[in-house]
C-alpha cells in the first residue's frame, strides 16, 4: 500500500474534462474544435475543491484518499458498496471517493454554476485544478461569458434533446437545470428549476457527437433519492473509466492502453479515459496524432427531456457533472428561449459562431482586437499571430487568432488524428468579411 500511495502521488497530474454541447454552450465561444468532449476549450470550465456538504469550494482538494475540505461536511448517500451508482471501484479496501461530489449528488458547493476558467482563480498544482482555455483569463466566471449569437428555441410541452461529451473521464453523474435570464445566475437559482430527463434510455451519438442517424441506445441509470435538492433527478455517467490499481487516479491517463473497465460498459469496448489521456505534461506521456485519435471519444451522450410548463422567456441552461474520481464539479451553460408558439430549433446543427472574434477581449472576444491586423504582424498586432496563452497540450495545434483559418475564412477544420501542423484559428476572417459582429452585437 505504501508503494501505491507513492505511485499515485507521482501520477496525479491530469485534469478531467466534460461539457454540454447541445444546446451549444457559451463556454465554447461558438467553436466546435475538439468537439464533442471539449469544443472550443469548453471542457476547461469547472469548480475545484468541492466536498459534499461544504459551504464553499476551496480550490484545493485531495484526490486520494478523499479528505473533506471543511468540518461540517456531509456523509455519502451513494453507499460504498452500491455497484449500480458507483463509478470508481479501484482500491476496494479504501472508500477513497467518500467525500467527492457524486457520492451525494448536488450537495457539493460550486464557485460558479457555469464554471470557472481553469477551475479556480489561480492555476492548479498537479492533480488539483488546471489551466484556463486559450485566450481566457484564469478564473474567469462562466456566468460572465456572453451568450452565443445563435438562438436555441424550445417549445413548452415538447420533447427536446440535450447532450454532453467526455474528454477526460472522472466517472460520477450529472443533471441539467434552468435559471431565468432576468434573475441572478446563482447556484440557488438553478437548484430551483432542476430538469427531469425522460425514461430509462439514453443514446451514444457518433460522428463527433453530431450524427443523429448514428446512435446506439443504452440503458440510463438515474437517481432521485439522497440528492440535493431533495427529489432532484441525476443520471450516472454511463462510460466506465479504466480499472486496475495502477489506474486508481489516472483512470488510464498518460496514454496507457486501457485493458479493462471500472464497470460493465454499455457497449462492448466503449470505456476509458478519453482524449484527455493525452493531456499530461509529464515527459514521455505525450501522444502521436494516431494515439490521440484512438484515445478520444467520437460520441456524445444524448438524453431526452420534456420542456416544462413554465413562463415563456429566456433561460440559462446549466449542465452540472459531479465527479466521483476527483473533488471537482464540471459546469457549463447554454441559453434557451422557451415559448409556446415559436418554431423550435433543430438540434445538432454544427455552429460556426463568431463570438471569439466580436465584442471585446473583456467579454470573451479573445480575438476581437485583431480586426486591423489581417496584414500586420507587428506591435499590438503581434498578439493576433502568436499562440494564445492557456492550456494547450502537445498533441493538438496551437491556437492563434489569425493565420490558420480555412481558405473560405472560416474556422480551422481539425479532428483528433489529424497531424499537428501549424495551428488553428476560430474563423475571424470570414466573420469580419461578412460584417457578422456589427449585425449580431
Q: How far apart are CA 138 and CA 269, in angstroms?
A: 36
Q: How far apart are CA 61 and CA 248, in angstroms?
A: 16
Nearest to 324 by CA among 102, 33, 7, 42: 102
142 lies in some domain = yes
207 lies in some domain = yes
Per-residue pLDDT, 128: 56
Q: CB 311: neighbour CB atoms within 10 A?
A: 8
Residues 172 and 229 in one domain: yes
H or E stretch at 328? strand 328-339
Which class for 296: exposed (0-12), middle (13-18), buried (19 or more C-beta within 10 A)? buried
CA angle 123–67–4, rounded 5-degree value: 90
Per-residue pLDDT, 9: 34
Number of structural domains in the chain: 2
Residues 186 and 328 in one domain: yes
Residues 420 and 287 in one domain: no
Q: Looking at 314, 339, 364, which one is the last position of a domain?
A: 339
Q: How far apart are CA 24 and CA 162, in angstroms?
A: 10
Residues 211 and 288 in one domain: yes
> Quick check: 314 pLDDT over 80?
yes
Displacement of CA 398 from its chain's centroid (Å)? 20
Residues 420 and 285 in one domain: no
Q: How far apart are CA 29 and CA 339, in angstroms?
A: 25
Residues 279 and 310 in one domain: yes
347 lies in some domain = no
Q: Looking at 339, 365, 393, which one is the last position of a domain?
A: 339
Residues 407 and 302 in one domain: no
Q: What is the rounded radius of gyration, in angstroms, for the C-alpha atoms of the chain?
A: 21
Q: How far apart are CA 248 and CA 111, in angstroms?
A: 27
pLDDT in tens, 128-141: 558 899 999 999 99
pLDDT in tens, 92-113: 778 989 999 999 999 999 999 9
CB 226 within 8 A of CB 77: yes
Q: Looking at 339, 368, 389, which one is the last position of a domain?
A: 339
Percent of the chain residues topping a pLDDT of 90: 72
CB 140 within 8 A of CB 132: yes
Give the domain range for residue 170. Answer: 2-339
pLDDT in tens, 196-225: 999 999 999 999 999 999 999 999 999 999
Per-residue pLDDT, 135: 92
Helix or strand or coil: residue 300? strand
The three grid cell numbers given for residue 159, joined into one nine-digit string: 420533447
Confidence of residue 89 (pLDDT cuts 50, 70, 90): confident
The three grid cell numbers given for residue 250, joined into one nine-digit string: 489516472
H or E stretch at 335? strand 328-339
Nearest to 412 by CA among 370, 346, 337, 356: 356
Q: CB 264: neighbour CB atoms within 10 A?
A: 9
Q: How far apart are CA 187 and CA 189, in angstroms?
A: 5
Residues 368 and 275 in one domain: no
CB 280 within 8 A of CB 14: yes
Per-residue pLDDT, 10: 34
Instruction: Indicate whether this model's pTM tops 0.85.
Output: yes
CA torsion 297-214-155-183 (nearest 10°) is: 0
> Quick check: 365 pLDDT over 50?
yes
345 lies in some domain = no
Residues 181 and 313 in one domain: yes
Confidence of residue 252 (pLDDT cuts 50, 70, 90): low
| Region of 129 on the Ramachandran plot (φ > 0 left; ψ -120 to 50 alpha; else beta) | left
Confidence of residue 400 (pLDDT cuts 50, 70, 90): very high
Per-residue pLDDT, 87: 94
Confidence of residue 90 (pLDDT cuts 50, 70, 90): confident
The three grid cell numbers given for residue 64, joined into one nine-digit string: 486520494
Q: What mean pLDDT value characterizes the chain?
A: 89
DSSP state of 148: P
The three grid cell numbers given for residue 334, joined into one nine-digit string: 447554454
Q: Which of 84-98, 232-246, 335-349 holds the top average pLDDT?
A: 335-349
> Quick check: 13 pLDDT over 50?
no
Q: How far apart are CA 369 and CA 288, in angstroms?
A: 34
Amino acid at each position: 500500500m505504501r508503494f501505491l500511495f507513492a505511485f499515485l502521488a507521482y501520477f496525479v497530474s491530469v485534469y478531467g474534462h466534460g461539457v454540454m454541447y447541445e444546446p451549444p454552450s457559451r463556454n465554447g465561444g461558438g467553436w466546435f474544435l475538439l468537439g464533442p468532449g471539449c469544443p472550443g476549450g469548453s471542457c476547461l470550465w469547472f469548480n475545484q475543491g468541492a466536498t459534499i456538504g461544504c459551504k464553499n469550494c476551496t480550490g484545493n482538494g485531495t484526490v486520494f484518499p478523499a479528505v473533506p475540505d471543511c468540518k461540517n461536511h456531509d456523509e455519502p448517500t451513494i453507499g460504498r458498496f452500491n455497484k449500480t451508482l458507483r463509478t470508481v471501484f479501484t482500491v476496494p479496501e479504501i472508500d477513497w471517493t467518500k467525500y467527492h461530489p457524486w457520492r451525494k449528488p448536488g450537495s457539493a458547493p460550486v464557485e460558479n454554476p457555469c464554471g470557472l476558467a481553469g477551475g479556480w482563480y489561480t492555476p492548479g498544482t498537479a492533480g488539483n485544478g488546471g489551466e484556463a482555455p486559450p485566450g481566457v483569463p484564469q478564473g474567469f466566471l462562466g456566468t460572465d461569458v456572453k451568450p452565443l449569437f445563435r438562438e436555441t428555441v424550445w417549445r413548452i410541452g415538447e420533447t427536446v434533446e440535450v447532450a454532453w461529451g467526455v474528454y477526460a473521464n472522472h466517472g460520477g453523474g450529472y443533471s441539467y437545470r434552468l435559471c431565468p435570464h432576468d434573475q441572478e445566475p446563482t447556484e440557488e437559482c438553478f437548484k430551483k428549476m432542476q430538469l427531469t430527463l425522460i425514461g430509462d434510455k439514453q443514446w451514444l451519438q457518433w460522428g463527433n457527437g453530431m450524427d443523429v442517424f448514428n446512435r446506439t441506445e443504452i440503458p440510463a441509470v438515474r437517481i432521485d433519492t439522497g440528492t440535493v435538492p431533495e427529489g432532484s433527478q441525476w443520471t450516472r455517467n454511463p462510460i466506465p473509466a479504466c480499472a486496475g490499481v495502477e489506474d486508481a487516479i489516472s483512470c488510464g491517463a498518460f496514454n496507457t492502453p486501457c485493458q479493462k473497465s471500472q464497470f460493465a460498459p454499455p457497449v462492448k469496448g466503449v470505456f476509458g479515459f478519453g482524449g484527455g489521456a493525452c493531456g499530461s505534461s509529464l515527459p514521455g506521456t505525450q501522444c502521436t496524432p494516431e494515439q490521440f485519435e484512438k484515445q478520444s471519444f467520437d460520441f456524445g451522450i444524448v438524453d431526452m427531456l420534456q420542456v416544462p410548463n413554465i413562463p415563456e422567456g429566456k433561460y440559462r441552461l446549466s449542465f452540472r457533472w459531479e465527479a466521483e474520481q476527483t473533488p471537482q464539479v464540471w459546469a457549463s451553460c447554454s441559453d434557451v428561449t422557451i415559448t409556446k408558439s415559436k418554431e423550435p430549433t433543430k438540434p445538432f446543427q454544427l455552429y460556426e459562431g463568431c463570438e471569439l472574434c466580436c465584442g471585446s477581449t473583456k467579454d470573451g472576444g479573445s480575438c476581437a482586437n485583431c480586426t486591423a491586423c489581417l496584414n500586420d504582424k507587428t506591435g499590438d498586432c503581434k498578439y493576433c499571430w502568436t499562440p494564445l496563452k492557456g492550456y494547450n497540450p502537445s498533441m493538438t495545434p496551437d491556437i492563434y487568432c489569425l493565420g490558420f483559418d480555412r481558405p473560405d475564412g472560416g474556422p480551422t477544420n481539425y479532428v483528433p488524428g489529424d497531424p499537428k501542423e501549424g495551428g488553428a484559428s476560430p474563423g475571424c476572417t470570414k466573420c469580419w468579411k461578412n460584417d457578422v459582429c456589427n449585425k449580431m452585437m
